[in-house]
Structure 1
Amino acid sequence: MLLKKVIETKNLTRIFKNGEIEVQALTNIDLIIYEGEFVAIMGASGSGKSTFLNILGCLDKPSSGDYFLDGVHVNKLSKNQLADIRNQKIGFIFQSYNLLSRTSALENVALPLVYNRTDRFNNPKELAQKALELVGLKDRIHHKTNELSGGQQQRVAIARALVNDPALILSDEATGNLDSKTSIDVADLFVQLNNKGKTIVMITHEPEIAQFAKRMIYLRDGAILTDEIIQNRNTKEKALKDLELTVQPFNK
C-alpha cells in the first residue's frame, strides 16, 4: 500500500529582499511528510522555522522550488484559492490562541465552518461540539473563552483547528505560553490526535515537547541539518515524572 503524501517540497527556497540586500531564509529544502506522521521542527532563532511554516500553511510563497499540499501544487494558486485551501485543508494552532474573548468556546470553534465556502458543513455547532468533546472540554462548551484557563483556551484553539477535518494540523509554538504541566497535557493531546490518524507538524523550541513527536527535523541557516525518527518518544507519564524530579529540590 502506497503512503499518501500530505506535504512535499522540492528545492524550496525563500529569499527576502530589502532594497539591494537579500536574505536567504530557506535553501533548497526537499521534504516529504506522509499522512499520519507527527513531525517536530526545531532550530535556533533565525534558522527558518517560521518562514517554512508560513509556506507550509499557504501564508507565504517560495521564491523558487515547488510545494505540494495533499496533492495540490500550491505555487501558482491565486490569493482566493490560497484562502480556500487554508480553510479546507489546514488547521492552525498558534501560541497566542487567537480566540474571540467574549464569545463562547462553541462559537469560536464553529467559526471556520461559517466561513467555509463549500457545502461540506451543514451542522457547524454539532461539529464544533464534537471537536470540543474530543479535546476534553465537553463541560466548557458554553463558557466564554475569557472564563477559561490558558490550557483550556489552547484546547479550544486545537478544537477549532480540527473542526473542518483538515489534511494537516500546523502548530506554531502551541505550548509557548503555557506552564510546564499544561504543556505536557497539550503535547499528550497531540499524541492522542495523531494516534487517531491526524497529520501534525509542530514547531517548538522545547526539546522535551519535541520528543512527543515521531520524527524531528532540525533546521540551521535555512536548511535541513538533521531529519530523524525519534526512537525513545516522550510520554505524559515520563514527562510528568521528569518534571517532578526537576522541581523537587525547590520544594524542600
Structure 2
Amino acid sequence: MALKKVIETKKLSRVFKNGEIEVHALSDIDMLIHEGEFVAIMGASGSGKSTLLHIIGCLDRPSSGEYSLDNVLVNDLDKNQLADIRNQKIGFIFQSYNLLSRTTALENVELPLIYNRTGQFANSKELAKKALDQVGLSDRMYHRTNELSGGQQQRVAIARALVNNPTLILADEPTGNLDSKSSFDIADLFVQLNNKGKTIVMITHEPEIAKFAKRMIYLRDGRILTDKLIENRSTKADAMKELERNPAADNELP
C-alpha cells in the first residue's frame, strides 16, 4: 500500500523584492513528506527555514513552483480557502506558546474548535480534555496558563495543536524558550505522538533536539543541502545522560 503524501513541493522558490534588489529566500525546493514521518528542518539563520515554514503552513505563497498539502494544490487557493486549510489540516506550535494568559489551559485548547466553521466539534470541551490528557496535563486543565511552567505551557500549546486532529503538526522552534530538561520532555512527547501516527515537521536550530526526529533536512542559502534519515536517533534517557555528563551544555534561560 502506497504511503499517503502529506507535503509535496516541486521547484518551490520564494523571492522577496526590495526595490531593485531581489533576495532569493528559497530556490528550487523539491520535498516529499509522507504520513507518519517526523522531520526536523535545520539550517543557519538566513538559510530559508522560516520562509519554508510559512509556505508549508499556508501563511505565505511561493513565488514559483508548486506546493500540495494532503493532496490539495495550495497555489490556487484564495485567502478564505487558505484560512480553512490552516484551521482544518495544520496544528501550529510556536516558540512563544501564543497562549491567552488569563484563561485556563482547557479554554486555550478549546479555542480552535470554537472558531472552527465546519460545525463538526459540538463536544469541544470533551475533545479539549482528551487533548490535554494526551500531553500529560489532565491535572492542570483548570489552571490559568500564567500559573504554569514554560514546559507545561508548551504542552498546552501542543494540546491545542492536536485538538482538531490535524493532518500535520508544524512546530517552529518549539523548545527555543525552554531549559534542556523541559526541551527533552517536549521532544520525547513529539516522539510519542509520532509513534501514534502523527506527521510532524519541526523547525529547530538545536542539533540535540533534531536527533529525536526520524529524518533531517538541512537548508543552506535557500536550498536543500542534505536530506537523510537519522540513524542514531536520540531518546530522552540518552539526552539526559549526556546532559549529566556535560552540564555546561544546559541552555537554561535566566
Q: How many residues align?
A: 250
In structure 1, the partner of 2:47 is: 47
The offset of 1:119, in angstroms, is 2.3
Q: Distance in 2 between matches of 1:131 and 1:55?
A: 27
Matched letter for residue 151 of structure 1: G
Give the TM-score normalised by the residue count of structure 2. Answer: 0.97
Q: Does the 8 Å contact 2:105/2:140 carry over to 1?
A: yes
Q: Distance in 1 between matches of 2:25 and 2:247?
A: 38
Give the TM-score normalised by the residue count of structure 1. Answer: 0.98
In structure 2, the partner of 1:99 is: 99
- Runs ≥4 residues deviating over 2 A: none
- Partner SS state of residue 219, structure 1: strand
Q: Distance in 2 between matches of 1:117 and 1:249?
A: 46
The offset of 1:17, in angstroms, is 0.6
Show structure 1 runs of 5+ residues with no match. none
Q: Distance in 2 between matches of 1:132 and 1:5?
A: 28
1:213 aligns with 2:213: yes
Summarize the alignment of residues 146-225 of structure 1 with structure 2, pairs less than 5 Å apart. 146-225=146-225
CA deviation vs aligned residue, 1:53-101 (integer Å, no higher than 9, x gap): 0000000000000000001000011101000000000000000000000
Q: CA RMSD in A?
A: 1.2
Q: Distance in 2 between matches of 1:88 and 1:159?
A: 15
Summarize the alignment of residues 1-252 of structure 1 with structure 2, pairs less than 5 Å apart. 1-247=1-247
Q: Does the 8 Å contact 2:101/2:144 carry over to 1?
A: yes
Show structure 2 runs of 5+ residues with no match. none
- Partner SS state of residue 131, structure 1: helix
Identity of paired residues, percent? 77
Q: Distance in 1 between matches of 2:249 and 2:83?
A: 50
The offset of 1:248, in angstroms, is 7.8
Q: Does the 8 Å contact 2:243/2:249 carry over to 1?
A: no
The offset of 1:249, in angstroms, is 11
CA deviation vs aligned residue, 1:19-67 (integer Å, no higher than 9, x gap): 1111000000000000000000000000000000000000000000000
Q: Distance in 1 between matches of 2:130 and 2:211?
A: 28
Matched letter for residue 133 of structure 1: D
Q: Does the 8 Å contact 2:15/2:22 carry over to 1?
A: yes
- Partner SS state of residue 75, structure 1: helix
Change in Cα spacing, 1:163 to 1:249, as seen in structure 2 (3 Å) is closer
Q: Distance in 2 between matches of 1:211 and 1:120?
A: 37
Q: Distance in 1 between matches of 2:78 and 2:215?
A: 32
CA deviation vs aligned residue, 1:122-145 (integer Å, no higher than 9, x gap): 111100000000000010000000
Matched letter for residue 4 of structure 1: K
- Partner SS state of residue 217, structure 1: strand
Matched letter for residue 202 of structure 2: M
- Partner SS state of residue 97, structure 1: coil
- Partner SS state of residue 54, structure 2: helix
After superposing the two structures, state which structure 1 stretch, 193-202 or 120-129, moved more.
120-129
Change in Cα spacing, 1:184 to 1:115, as seen in structure 2 (3 Å) is same
Q: Distance in 2 between matches of 1:249 and 1:64?
A: 41
- Partner SS state of residue 231, structure 1: coil
